[in-house]
Structure 1
Amino acid sequence: MTNNASQVVKAIDEARRAVVGASIIPLATVSPQPIEWLWRPHFALGKLSVLAGHPGLGKSLVTMDMAAHVSTGRKWVDGSHCPKGSVVLVSGEDDPGDTLRPRLDAAGADVNKVYYLKAVCDMEGERGFTLADVPALTSMLGRLKDCRLIIIDPVSAYLAGTDSHNNAEVRALLAPLAQMAGDHRVSVICVSHLNKAQGEAIGRVTGSLAFVAAARSAYVVSRCKDDPKRRLMTPLKNNLGADLAGASYRIGETIMDGLGGVPFVTWDLDPVNISADEALAPTTGHESTVADAIEFLRDILRDGPVKVNEVKAEANAAGLSPRTIERAKAELPVIAQRFTEGNNGRGYWTWKLGEASKAATSKAANPAIQTGGLTEDGSTMRVPEDTGGVRPPTSGLADLPEKQGARETFRL
């Protein structure tokens, strides 16, 4: 009798799930909508994204910096708009007390708007979160209506028994998460690791290719081959924005009372225009010399500022690799300057030659690139000596004044 009952229930369930038709809508009834950005053109609101890289390169620090920007509404390093809202951290590796909170403070976050997902609750009490618990996240977003960013770090810790190498299973697990992101206009960033395989960068993200396929944008963090202190964040794919628009950063350290040194990200001002494949490619040993690149830059910049994309196009035509140009730029007193157009944060970068004395004066006068000394509250601030980026405001530090039009210039 029991077996018969089970068979009846199974038959009813199969009949209920049987496909009997399809639902379609004419696109003429769909209103075109602009893409909303968390950080143009890298991470969009309402979409799933992936940030992958080997351990020790600062992926989690990047996400803490992003949380700081979103919680305060502070503009991104390139001057583009950052929507202000709440942030939810789903962290399986970092302790909220001795790691997450200090790093958020160092990055200048408004911790009143940053939340740590401790557990989910069911009829038996609290238990650990998995990606099968999207209904719990959806319920949370119903209460936290201003949430704009959810960080899942690492995504591999929350697979709910799913085989991470099975495309179908991973897609089925991520689909509700992507749907939730779209419904609530929240950007979901999944942090992942890289495997040791060779070949195209898109196959280097740990687990199934479905992780990258489900994401609308995916970025890889790698160490710069010519400057070990510099980290590159390069696009693996970007379905919504420029697929050669990357960024670079270095890791600074601030001394906090009772905590010692706490790391934070300091972004370089100059954009990175190489792909993840180029960033992860092994060195060939046949690159042009830096001396040639130095002479090239002196010649092309002799008459004044030139747009960066034009410089790099001419360099490519001259057979000079991007890495060699970057090394030559570091040795010359090249000044990068960004010009904005309109109020949407869009603009362009230029390079120009500058006297070393002027570059040194600019660096000493600008608190964004100090290399030592005391902060306003008397604590010590340490920033990598070769940084060309901007350190975030921290406790006791005055925010840098915003500028209209051309941003301040820095020696890079």
Structure 2
Amino acid sequence: MTRQANRLSQTQTLQLNTGLAASLKVLRFDASGLTRYLEEQAATNPYVVLTQIPAEAVAWLPRWTAAFAAQGMGGADSPDVGAMLQAPALGLIAHVSRQIDAMLRDEGDRDIAFGLMQALEPSGWLGRPLPRLAAELGCDVARAQAVLAQLQGMEPAGLFARSLAECLELQARDMGVHDMVMAAILAHLDLLAAGDHARLAKLCGVDADEIAARLRVIKGFDPKPGTQFGQVSAPVREPDLTVVRGPMGWEVSLNRSALPDVAVGRGNDARAQGDNARGAARELVRMVASRNQTLLRIGQAILTRQEAVLAQGMEALVPMGLTDIAEALDLHPSTISRAVAGVSVDTPRATIWLRALFTADVGGAAGGAIRARLARLVRDEDARAPLSDLALAALLSAQGAVVARRTVAKYRQMMDILPAHRRKRRV
């Protein structure tokens, strides 16, 4: 005889309400993703009103400000100018080397090209006058100029420029927007940097609206194309945060031009859906404000801990995990993880990923700092006698943390650095 019995069991599940799920979704967006989301909401809810924040004439991102300063347009004694004068990233050198191998066949021209490559700065600009470089390379200036013209055809446009104006000209030509007006503007970058549109318009023979339109195009260029190849560089786009050195130290702020302003409108439209739509619009405004405030707090906390990186580069990284920031701000580590995903910050050096500033402790040093030192050692090695993994491990260990050969091999593969026998070059 079969007996049937009813049993009562209790299970516990966690389910997010609609509002919390939406808040987490908004927090996870970067600036471009959030802009698209807001545009979708505005298309379906007549109470959601988006207003594009107009760019101020003199509101330049930090990397632009440093580029202007390096050219004597806005503070030649700026403490950030030094960031332009250090050695270029290993990724830039590897990229340029591959393109030289592909585009030049004449051995003499290749030797000149590799010599010019050694004079590149982190910005991607040529760091010394061409006549001096030609003399060092044992060739006449005309031949060096001919090789340089070929190198300036590399991607991304702007590499091997000899000034900020030439860097922007190369990018304008690449985009097909270089004409007499653009040439005149680039010849007066000091006026552009200062926001003196009226005088610039008079010199160019156009009205102020045309200058403003050209300004929007120029702001889409990259004044430092070489920094795209840095270890933690983010793609060139509108960054979410900016950081500049102020009177009280490094100051982090939201990049207001990266997002439209969102507000609750009157909804006088046939599509108006009553109180529900109006309430959804108010909630959206609240979520965006909360997202911006949270992101700013997190960005400030991260960059305060990694302040040395802004002045000295990635070799100055200190160990830092998600829990360190979470505990400091009384937030959950998952909130920190969501907030920094895909978020970039514009610095005087370059635009970098915020997540890249989190790095594990490896023998008492930051793993990211060890990788940066590894990249420097490989970049500065004698190309005729490259350093083995064992030699690299010894040099890295001499700087403090004990680094094993297998760790060097792992990091080298992670950073796409070839083994020593394949890095060897006959010079």
TM norm structure 2:
0.28
Structure (1 or 2) with the larger CA radius of gyration: 2
Higher relative contact order (CA 8 A, sep 6+): 2
TM norm structure 1:
0.29
Which protein is richer in helix relative to its size? Answer: 2
